[in-house]
Amino acid sequence: MPTTDKAADDLQAVLDKIASWPEPFPEIGRQLHDTILSAGPKLKPRLWYGGCGYATGRSTPVVVFVRVDDGVMSFGVTEKGTSEREDGSLLRPAAWYVDEMDARTLDRVADLVRAAFA
């Protein structure tokens, strides 16, 4: 019986999901995906609640995610991730809407990913 590489299958499922999003989100999604994996090179992508989730293992909790719902793309940190409270409040940043991308934003995403997995 042939064996399958579940991590490779999960990665392909994530790439297929990103490619299926309406414009302009496939390109933004690819950039976010690449940035997330660069910031956390040991991360394992998988489909998660209809979007793309990233965790340290195939069966560990998703910590950051990218998804498109009703024409809106979001990048976020789940409750399993580390995030600092905003100055002057008890709020913790958890998600951001994305409709275009630049290098500065990708750098910020990389910082958020590194912090979330700290």
Cβ partners under 8 Å of residue 31, min gap 6: 101, 106
Please tell me the predicted confidence (pLDDT) of residue 58. Answer: 87
Q: Which of 34, 18, 11 is nearest to 109 (CA)?
A: 34
In contact, 64 and 81? CB cutoff 8 Å: yes
Output the six-digit token pair for 47: 């489909």
Q: What is the pTM of this model?
A: 0.91
Task: Name residue 22's amino acid.
Answer: P
Dump pLDDT digits (tens) for 62-108.
999 999 999 999 999 999 999 888 899 999 889 999 999 999 999 99
Domains of the chain: 6-116 (3.90.1150)
Dump pLDDT digits (tens) for 15-49.
999 999 999 999 999 999 999 999 988 999 999 99
